[in-house]
Every structure is written in structure tokens, then in C-alpha cells.
Structure 1
């Protein structure tokens, strides 16, 4: 199938060609015709399957006849709600690329950055708004955003919005939009609460289930190293020196862990950058751009900060800490092996993470190959380190000398 078969208009086909895409992915083949028919749609598809174009292209086509309103006369007609800043920036860039041969204007708004430039562009007039929930509600409250003309509402990465506690905000945003709008919900997984949300805000939705939630990209080879927790940094350095070729995205569970590993790698002469929730938006964007453009070969990130990262030429993903959710593992390694490229996923597991491996392997129905030839093997009998709290130095029930004295008290 070609993009022409999806009945897309010439300016969009020209923009797709310029972007270097030749044929639509499965999610695009199934979603675009339904969205062009103005149906409500629930799409379950993994990151890296071409989801953004699956809603961006039909939205641009539906708005094409209204593009020539004078700038200040433009009304926001499509709203895309995204859980993270990085994802919002990525989506808006895609809209910009696909709208290259049209007069359709888009804007991304998000917190953690100055509000004034965003207000300036809003006042000039836009057709498509990509927004994180907090900043959107904030600007709506201040009367800078009017949602009365919304024709299409997209909820992207709905499962992450649920995990980040945005569901109430999403419901509020839905109520602020017209009742007769088209609603599209995209999610990597459809847990029960997302199902409930979909039932409450979508009207007789069509379903598109492109990949089983447990699938792993076929172009990603996985390898697992069992290692004592105290030797993880040494093994990481050993692999970076001897095994890992190309650029690498390293995942850690906490911001503290990200900072600690970044310092160690910089001290060992590596070009490294990092992103996590405590960094402001411009620092996160700078780090991402440096990594994408090859100035830094290593990027260290927490899961939430990395959700919006879209790098087609990512060679390796490195799980420094094993995630405690199987879905998170699938999301992480799905960052590599995209757009026809081959990727490699490395994972280090200490004694206290062994249960996570069991859960992940059951979930993906694959046994992850184990590499035993390395300098820091884990004793198979090793038990998780349990840190016991030290109790009082006094025996239970024993009174101190002072408390034994019968003192006269003033009260």
C-alpha cells in the first residue's frame, strides 16, 4: 500500500515524500481512513510504529479547507494532549513537517519554560495546538486559549497520562471542548482505567490494535548480564569500552542515579548528557539535540523524561536498572531498532532485580539471552542485600538510670 492509496491530498503526499517516507506503517494504514471519516478511534500501538503521522496526516487533511483564514482570524481546531514536554515538541515538529506545503499553523505549549512567547504565538492565531495538560489549563484559565472551535481532540500516550496522574485534567479538558468533536485516543497499552476513560468520552469508537502489547521489535537483539549491584558501574564502563558500538541511551530508575552515573562517565572521559524531571525544559531540549546530532554519544534518562524521545538512529538501549514493570522494559527497548535499523538492548540485573526478569520474560514470552563472559559475574546463589534498621542500644523494657529516680515534677 502507498500513501496515495489512503486518499491523501497532494500537498501532504509531497510533504511525506520530502520527509523520506515511502509507504505507510500498519497503524497508519488502519487509522487514517477511519479518522478521515471523522470517526472516534482508540488505537493501541507501541512507540515507534508511526503513531504521530497516523493522526497528524488526516487532521491536516480535514483542516486543509480552513487554512486560509487570516492569521488573527484563525481558531484552534485540533488539540493534541501529550503527557511530556519532549513528546509535545516532537509531535509539533511532525505537524510542521507535514504542513510544509500549506498555510496551517501549529504550536506546542508546555510548562517549565517562559509563558510569554507561547502567549504571543497564540494571539497571532494557530490551527493546531499540542499541549501538556497543566500549561493548557493554566492558559485557558487566563483566557488565552479558546477551545470552543475544537473539531478533533487527540489524547496521546494515554497510559502514561494515567501513570502521571493527569486523568482528571484530561476529563476537564474534554469538557471544555465542544460535545460534537471527534476524539482519538492513542495508547501503548489499554489498562482497565484507560478503557473506562475511553467509554466515558468517546462515541461508538472504532478500535485499531496494531501490535500485541507484549511484542518486542524484531530488529532488536537483547542481552542480559547478571552482576552484583556494587559492580554495576564497573561493568557499564567495561561494556562501553569493549562491547557497545555507536550511541547509547542509558535508563536509570531515579534522578539521583542519573546524576551519579553521569558524573562517573564524565570523569572517565565520555561525552555524556542527561535528562530527568528536575532539569528545566531548555536544558532537556539542549541535551536531546546534542545527542541527536552526535555531540554526545551517551544520554542517561529516567523513564518519564525519555517517553517523548524519538531517535530513528539509536544504536543501543542500556537498562542500567531493571524496570519493575514489564511494559516499561518493552517501551525502553522499543526506542532502538526503528525505521528498519538494527538495535541492541543491554540489561544488567543484580540479585534484588531477579524477580523483574521473570515478570518481563513471562510478559514478552521470550527468554532473554544471558551473557556470562564478563569480569563481574553474579554468584547464582546470591541473595538480595537486606539493609536492617539498627535498633536501640538499650534492651527492651530497660529503663535508664535517670528515669528510675523519683522526681517531683511541677505538673
Structure 2
């Protein structure tokens, strides 16, 4: 079994890893770190909770230690892009944790907070800048930061950034980053748009994939309640009253729905908090802290706001509304099966959601068990549907997964105008590289330097 000590990381990083109590890398760390130490571009397919943040943070910090450089005003050597404030904050915390024994300034910028404080923080420059795309472009436009010194570009949760409408923002950002760089792109899913994006942004990347949907699904005990939409709130209260629940993460598809669920639970005497894009940053942090420390055992979230939340000890996931994207279901239920643990996920399926449930079952390769009503409930569950019934995709507007760009950075989460894309970064790839890369003449000393 591979150990961190086998990967050839700088001793200062090894010291921080040991202080965190880690000895054995996760699968994505074991696969990605050696490749990134060779300066390769990388396309990583991995969900939150697989250890992917350390998979890119450690080799990036190793590069900075091998090639120390004086910090330049209003610049950054490493740029990490993330879809939400929460994920950006967690990535920055990881970089700070592993760089505690080196001189490394980590800054975070995202929307929803005063931009002037972020401008001041960037005046002296940053070694690592973690940002949401909208706020970063605001700061670039105000000349508070330049991207001309970026040597490593990391796009985390790229599929979510596309879902949130950041595609044009990403192209604008990449066009301003030097072509001579290392680029890493991580995504929980691999739709065609991500493949296209990887072709544009990455130079001959290696691909690393861990935790396919079936693996997550097999670790989680799953069940469904067939219930009318009108009875879902009553059923949710009865399910959450189970004393075996330590922490429950409840998913709704809209911000309004999350608030409504919390109001109803509070009215019944059950403490719950909501997290979504309309909440201020202090409100979101307060809700997360209460959930983490156990003072509040129920957190209600939209998919986008919850993306990147990495909290251990979630015993139950409740899909109050079924997602219309099967991969989103896998991502949701995986939050209760971290680090190889098992978990329990239940879904409330109304008649108009049966199509989505069947789509999910095809993706995970198994039928989800139908559950009996909880003891003491007054809710009359719907009959179990005929598995041979022909189902049709619901008509009307596409069901969202979180109500737009909730939780994103820049302009209070408002969607940017969808301007026509312009050719960027010269011919071919926007901001792409031509020929080989040495990052300004810097090459790692791979032979003899790592023992």
C-alpha cells in the first residue's frame, strides 16, 4: 500500500501531513500527486470527500518550495477557481494547513462580502489565490489583481461552475493567464461540456478517475417513500424524529423550498437551518458551524450551496425533492458515506418524480428499496408503482438543481449577461499553450532530487 512517504513530497509538507495524522493517501491522491509532480496537466473525475483538494494542493505547494519566488504586488502564482464561497474557503484552509511550515500567503476572494477588504488583501500579492469566477473578474476589472504571473491554474468542481453559468467567465479568466502554465481540472461528472472545456484549457492532460457512481451507491443504504407533494413536509418531520439520526442533510431544489422546509420544521419544534445563495456569508457560516458541532442536527440545502461542503458524521441524507440529473443524486447520497463509511439516504418521490427515480436507478444499476411508513406517522403513502409502467419525462421548464447561481461569487449571485463568446488566447485553445511547458524556464528536478 502506498504511503505519503513514498510520493517524494518536500519534507516540510510531510511534516504538516504527519501533524494532520495522515499516513496513507486516498486513491486520487496516490494517482494524481506523482503525475502532478511531473508537471503534467490533469483531468480528475472525483467527488467531494475523496481527498482531491490535497491531491492538487500538495504537489502545487511542492512546486512552490522547489522554485521559491518573491511575492509580487497584486499578483498570484497559483490560481484556484471554485463555484461557491464555501468550497473556496475550504480549499484555502487546506492550502494553509499544508503550508504551515513554509512562507505561503493564501488569499480567498468571493462575492457576498465587501470587495474593498479583498482589494486591500491583494495589494501585497498572494502565493495562492482561491476565487469564485465572478468576484475574480470584478477584481481584475478594477486592476486589484493581475493574472499574468499565474504558473498553476486549478479549476475545481468544473461541472458545477458550468451549471451555474460561469462558462464565459472561465474563458475570460483563462485568456488572461499565461499559456506557459500547469492546468488542473477537477469535476464530479464528465458531461460533453467538460470534455470540450478540458480540450480547450488543458495541454495533453493525463486523466484520473475515482469513485464511479456504482461504488458510492453500493456504500449507501438507500430507500424511497412514494408520497404526494402535499404530504412531504409531514413525512419529513416524522423521518427526522428518528433518534438514530446524528446529522441529516436535506436537499431541496430551490432556495425558496429550503426556507419553507426550515420554517415548517421550526414550527414543529425541530431545529433546522438553511444554506443557499440568498443567505449572507455570516448566516451561511453560522449554519455550517452549528451543523458541524452538532448543536443543529438538520441542515437544509440546495445542491449548489451544498457543493463542496465536506463534513464528516452525516448519518442521513434526505432527498426532499428528487434531482433531475442522476449524477446529482449520486453526489448527494455520497455525503453520508465518507472515508469508506456506510450511510443512509432516503428519497421522497412524488408522482411527477417517478421518471427521475427510474433514470437514477438505471445510472446506479440497482432498484432502490421502497420503505414502509415510519412508526406513528399519519401520512398515507402512495401505492408502490408498477415497475413496468411507461413513464414520460415531465413537461415544462427544466427543473433546476438549486435555483440558479446560488452560492456563487460575484455580483450577489446574479447571472452575468450571456455575451457571445469571442476567440481568446490566439488561435486554437482559449488561453491554451503552444508546444511544451517549462513554466518560465522552471523544470522540476525529477532525477535524484526526490529519492
> Which TM-score applies when normalising by structure 1?
0.89
Contact 1:67-1:102 at 8 Å conserved across structures? no
Residues in 1 aligned to 2:292 and 2:358: alpha-carbon distance in whole angstroms: 33
Contact 1:82-1:156 at 8 Å conserved across structures? yes
Q: CA deviation at 1:215?
A: 3.8
Contact 2:217-2:364 at 8 Å conserved across structures? no
Q: CA deviation at 1:244?
A: 4.7
1:121 aligns with 2:125: no
Residues in 2 aligned to 1:314 and 1:144: alpha-carbon distance in whole angstroms: 40
**Deviation by residue 1:12-45 (Cα, 9 ceiling, x = unmatched):** 1121122222210111111111111111111111
1:205 aligns with 2:209: no
2:18 corresponds in structure 1 to 17
Q: CA deviation at 1:213?
A: 4.5
1:409 corresponds in structure 2 to none
1:263 corresponds in structure 2 to 263
Contact 1:80-1:154 at 8 Å conserved across structures? yes
Distance 1:243 1:324, change over 3 A: farther
2:410 corresponds in structure 1 to none
Residues in 2 aligned to 1:10 and 1:358: alpha-carbon distance in whole angstroms: 50
2:170 corresponds in structure 1 to 170
**Deviation by residue 1:215-258 (Cα, 9 ceiling, x = unmatched):** 42543211211112211111111111236521111001111211
1:327 corresponds in structure 2 to 327
RMSD: 2.1
The secondary structure found in structure 2 opposite 1:124 is: coil
Q: Aligned match of 1:378 in 366, 373, 382?
A: 382
Residues in 2 aligned to 1:283 and 1:271: alpha-carbon distance in whole angstroms: 15
Residues in 2 aligned to 1:329 and 1:244: alpha-carbon distance in whole angstroms: 23
Q: CA deviation at 1:295?
A: 1.8
Q: CA deviation at 1:181?
A: 0.6
1:110 aligns with 2:110: yes
Distance 1:213 1:73, change over 3 A: same
The secondary structure found in structure 2 opposite 1:216 is: helix
1:39 corresponds in structure 2 to 40
Structure number with the bigger relative contact order (C-alpha 8 A, sep ≥ 6) is 2
1:407 corresponds in structure 2 to none
Q: Which consecutive residues of structure 1, in runs of 5 or more, have no partner in the other structure?
A: 388-411
Residues in 1 aligned to 2:78 and 2:344: alpha-carbon distance in whole angstroms: 37
Residues in 1 aligned to 2:326 and 2:130: alpha-carbon distance in whole angstroms: 29
Q: CA deviation at 1:342?
A: 2.9
Residues in 2 aligned to 1:215 and 1:160: alpha-carbon distance in whole angstroms: 21
Residues in 2 aligned to 1:359 and 1:93: alpha-carbon distance in whole angstroms: 37
Distance 1:35 1:381, change over 3 A: closer
1:48 aligns with 2:52: no
Residues in 2 aligned to 1:142 and 1:132: alpha-carbon distance in whole angstroms: 16
1:233 corresponds in structure 2 to 233
Residues in 2 aligned to 1:295 and 1:5: alpha-carbon distance in whole angstroms: 40
| Alignment: residue pair count | 385
**Deviation by residue 1:249-274 (Cα, 9 ceiling, x = unmatched):** 10011112111110111112222111
Residues in 2 aligned to 1:142 and 1:63: alpha-carbon distance in whole angstroms: 27
**Deviation by residue 1:83-131 (Cα, 9 ceiling, x = unmatched):** 1111101111111111111111111110011112212221133200000
Q: CA deviation at 1:153?
A: 0.2
Contact 2:48-2:308 at 8 Å conserved across structures? no
Q: Which consecutive residues of structure 2, in runs of 5 or more, have no partner in the other structure?
A: 396-451
Residues in 2 aligned to 1:210 and 1:296: alpha-carbon distance in whole angstroms: 32
Distance 1:286 1:173, change over 3 A: same
Residues in 2 aligned to 1:91 and 1:313: alpha-carbon distance in whole angstroms: 20
Contact 1:189-1:213 at 8 Å conserved across structures? no
The secondary structure found in structure 2 opposite 1:339 is: helix
Larger-Rg structure: 1
Higher alpha-carbon deviation: 106-115 or 16-25: 16-25
1:79 corresponds in structure 2 to 79
